[in-house]
Structure formats: C-alpha cells, structure tokens
Structure 1
Amino acid sequence: MVKEIASNFRKGQVIEHEDGHLYVVLKAETFRPGKGTPTTTIDMRRITDGVKTVITVKTTDTLEKAFVEEVPHTYLYKDGDEYIFINIETYDQISLTEAMIGDGIGFLQENAECKILMFDGKAITITLPTRVTMAILSTEPVVKGQTASSSYKPAIVESGARVMVPPHIEAGTRIVINTDDSSYVERAKD
C-alpha cells in the first residue's frame, strides 16, 4: 500500500480505508475556502457490497492507496446476474456482478473494451471507456417554445439507460455519451 494525500485522489482509484475494506472513488472534490483549512470530499463505494459512503478530510491528510492492476478485457455477454468478460491477451474469461460494475452498467455494450481492476489476483471493479456511442430508443417530443441552449429532455438509449439530450435529438439518432456523468456529448458522426 502507498500513502497519498487526499487531494490527489481521482475517480476510479482504489482506497484501503481505515475499516480494512477496499473502496473505489466515485468522485473527489477539493474545497479551498478563503479562510480556513482546505478540505477534500470523497464519494466512494465499498467494493465488497456496493455500499456508498462520503468522507471529508483535510487535503493534506494521507489515505492508503491500494495497488491495483488494470487488465484490458472485452465484454462478451450477460449470464443471469453475472457479466462475462474475456482477457484479450490470455483469453481467460471472468465474471463480474452488477455491484462490482457500479453505476456505469447502463453503458456496457457487447464487445466494448474495458479495464478490470485486479487486487491480489481478484477482480474488484471495472473502468468503462470514457465515451460510448448509443442509439436513442425513445424520447419526449419537442415542446414548442423551448430553446436549444438551455433545455434538455429525457431520452432512453438502447441499453435502457436514461440520459438528458438537447431538444433537436429524435428517436433513432446515435449519440455520444460521457460515461462518467451520463451526459450528452454530441451527435455521433457515423
């Protein structure tokens, strides 16, 4: 384990917390007030059972960063409650649960290249591609008088995930989505 100051933690990194469990960082924000001590707020998910927690510490406090190995895999298919991946170098298959994949599960596509984080030879979580391209299945009709600059409408993509899109986007349109925050990036260029 390596000690690192709290302000250096980013999304996707793994922390070994004081309670002895491993947590994956979901979001880390540093707050620097004009007066007083700067703090870092870290939203994290316990890897063993998916429980989310938030801690706030001084930016200079140290936390244990777990040594994890990123192994490239390709998503194959869903089998019951498990998601099957294949190592693109050794062709070994591995299965992950929904709790291990986390909130990005709605953006998992067949044949998508991902990185599985391994700790002591065991899979603990997954890192999805930053952007995915998906087709819109359904969306609400445009309301007359809405402006394109300030309003978004809900849409359901092919995986069942919900995203907010500009009013000019219709069902059947392929869009690029940022998997970090489920936000619309642009219309796909394919």
Structure 2
Amino acid sequence: MKINSVDIRPGNILEYQGGLWRAVKIQHTQPGKGGAYMQVELKNLMDGRKTNERFRSAETVEKVRLDTRDFQFLFAEGETLTFMDKLNYDQITLDKDLLGDAADFLTDGMDVVMETYEEKPISVQLPDQIEAVIRDTEAVVKGQTASSSYKPATLENGVRVMVPPFVTAGTKIVVDTYAREYVRRAD
C-alpha cells in the first residue's frame, strides 16, 4: 500500500530498495529554502543494518501489509521477551531488540499487536500511549517561566521523560511510548 512520506510513523514497515525496513525515528523538517522533507532512520529487518533516508513530502513509499494478531506480554528474561497468542494460547519468545526502545514500556499482562510477514514475527506494536507513575523528579526552581520550562523525571520503569513543573513524584501521567514524551496527567 502506497503512503505519503509525511504519514510514516515509528514502527511502520516499509518496502525500500528491495528489502523490509522498520522506521525507527522520524523527523519532519521544513527548511527556510526548498521543500519540506521527512528524515527517516530505517532498520533492515533481515540483517539489522541501519540507514538514514530523506523523503520529499510529495514522495510516496510502499508500506508493507503485515498479518496482525493479538498477543499478551507475559515476562522478560534477560534479553528475551515472552508473549502469548490470545487466540490459541501458544507462547513465542523474541529478542528484546525487535521492539527497540519501546520495550522499556512493557508491563506484565500488556496487550500488544504482533505483526508477521510469511509467519515470521517482524514487529510488536505497543499502545501509542500508556499510563505511568513518576518515581522521582527534580524540584522546581523558583522564578522559572512555567510556559516553556520542563524538568526531568524518572518513571517507575526507569525511563526518563521531561515533564511540566507542576508534576511531582507519585503523579500518574500519560506518556507517548514511541516519542517518550509527556502527554498529560492521567485521570
């Protein structure tokens, strides 16, 4: 399926230069001179090579249509992760590398979507946003402008994110799992 380059998201699988590539990081850039473009870091799913590519905004790329199935994350053991197929209860073990940085947000019992290509697991999609609790954060410095200042905070899973000054330790927040950014306070 063809998609515009501006619709590429981290985790998308693209057919590019005769191989299957996962978009790891994306950055949309609008230079002062010339047309806008997407800077995309791609990782080859077969051999692990990485490359950076620049796609013009009007360019289209081929997004690979993968088979998807619902799985549940069971546990991590060293560098491997174990998932259970929610349909037939089969278990599958995958390398942590397959998920990249998103693996830090896995919690026991989390529902995920596994994408397969010719029956081989290619990627695991976590929810776009999850709720997390702040373990600790720095104190607010008096006199900082609240509108533009963020402070570092550590979540209970060890991930560091930048949060607004009003967020304190013990606060439950919503975090974007792929951008690793604060979204809002949890209800």
| Greater shift in the superposed pair: 152-161 or 140-149 | 140-149
Distance 1:121 1:51 in 2: 22
Identity of aligned residues (%): 37
Residue 13 of structure 1 corresponds to: 12
Query: Which of 61, 69, 72 is the aligned partner of 2:70?
Result: 72
User: Which of 119, 142, 145 is equivalent to 2:143?
Assistant: 145
Displacement of 1:60 after TM fit?
A: 5.3
1:55 correspondence with 2:41: no
Once residues 166 and 34 of structure 1 are traced to their aligned partners in structure 2, the CA distance between those partners, rounded to angstroms, is: 30
Aligned residues: 187
Q: Which residue of 124, 128, 131 corresponds with 1:130? A: 128
Residues 150, 81 of structure 1: alpha-carbon distance in 2 compared, 3 angstrom cutoff = same
CA distances 1:107-154 after superposition (whole Å, capped 9, x unpaired): 111111111111110111111101111111111112111233211111
Q: Distance in 2 between matches of 1:109 and 1:67?
A: 27
| Residue 42, structure 1, aligned to residue 40, structure 2 | yes
1:32, CA displacement in angstroms? 6.9
Counterpart position of 1:118:
116
Separation in structure 1 between the aligned mates of residue 30 and residue 141 of structure 2, nearest angstrom? 41
One-letter identity of the residue aligned with 1:12? G
Q: TM-score, normalised by structure 2?
A: 0.85
d(CA) in 2 for partners of 1:99, 1:61: 30
Q: Please, what TM-score do these two structures have when normalized by structure 1? A: 0.83
Unaligned runs of 5+ in 2: none
* Superposed displacement of residue 57, structure 1: 3.6
> Residue by residue, what CA displacement relative to the aligned partner does 1:20-78 show, whole Å, maximum 9, x if unpaired?
43211234556677986664433222224544321124455554433311211111110
Match of 1:161 in 2: 159
1:170 and 1:67, CA in 2 relative to 1: closer, same or farther beyond 3 A? same
Give the partner amino acid of 2:12: Q
1:103 maps to 101
159-168 vs 5-14, which deviates more? Answer: 5-14
- Tell me, yes or no, if the aligned pair for 1:73 and 1:114 is still in contact at 8 Å: yes
State the AA in 2 paired with 1:117: E
Q: For residues 141-175 of structure 1, what are the alpha-carbon distances to aligned partners after superposition, in whole Å with 9 as ceiling and x for unaligned?
A: 12111233211111111111111111121111111
The answer for the alignment partner of 2:24 in structure 1 is 26
